[in-house]
């Protein structure tokens, strides 16, 4: 069974390694993300625009709740705006469900804070 903390942490590595397919795969087929990006090819276009703008820095996990069918995680994610060097902190909550016994993100909520 995959661990939701690792899914969130590994997303930064996937981003840095340009593994957009792995990022796409962590989302449920019923997620808002997959509705917005209906195919990995559509996400690929968006991804390669993002990597010119943002560089992930780190993730800090604050709270994780599980049961057998769902999970949620509270975390912050820091990214650097490549153009101006500012750090953007996302305060986030991700909700997970199981698909074929694998945790997948069904929804994420984010608030943003900017730092210099």
Q: What is the pLDDT of residues 29-81, one digit of tens each?
A: 999 999 999 999 999 999 999 999 999 999 999 999 999 899 999 999 999 99
DSSP string across 25-94: HTB-TTSHHHHHS-SHHHHHHHHHHHTTTEEEEEEEEEEEEE-SSEEEEEEEEEEEETTT--EEEEEEEE
Q: How does residue 2 score in pLDDT terms, banded at 50, 70 and 90? A: low
Calculate what percentage of the chain has a pLDDT beyond 90: 88
Number of independent structural domains in the chain: 1
Looking up residue 31, the CATH number of its domain turns out to be 3.10.450.50
Give me the domain span that covers residue 57: 4-115
- Phi and psi at 86, nearest 5°, equal -70, 145
Mean pLDDT for all residues in the chain: 93
Question: Kind and range of the H or E element at 116?
Answer: none
């Amino acid at each position: 069974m995959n661990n939701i903390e690792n899914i969130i942490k590994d997303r930064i590595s996937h981003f840095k390694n340009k593994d957009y397919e792995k990022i796409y795969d962590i989302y449920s087929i019923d997620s808002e993300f997959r509705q917005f990006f209906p195919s990995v090819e559509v996400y690929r276009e968006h991804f390669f625009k993002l990597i010119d703008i943002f560089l992930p820095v780190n993730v800090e996990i604050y709270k994780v709740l599980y049961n057998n069918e769902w999970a949620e995680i509270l975390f912050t994610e820091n990214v650097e705006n490549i153009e101006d060097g500012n750090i953007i902190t996302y305060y986030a909550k991700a909700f997970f469900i199981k698909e074929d016994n694998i945790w997948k993100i069904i929804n994420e909520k984010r608030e943003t804070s900017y730092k210099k």
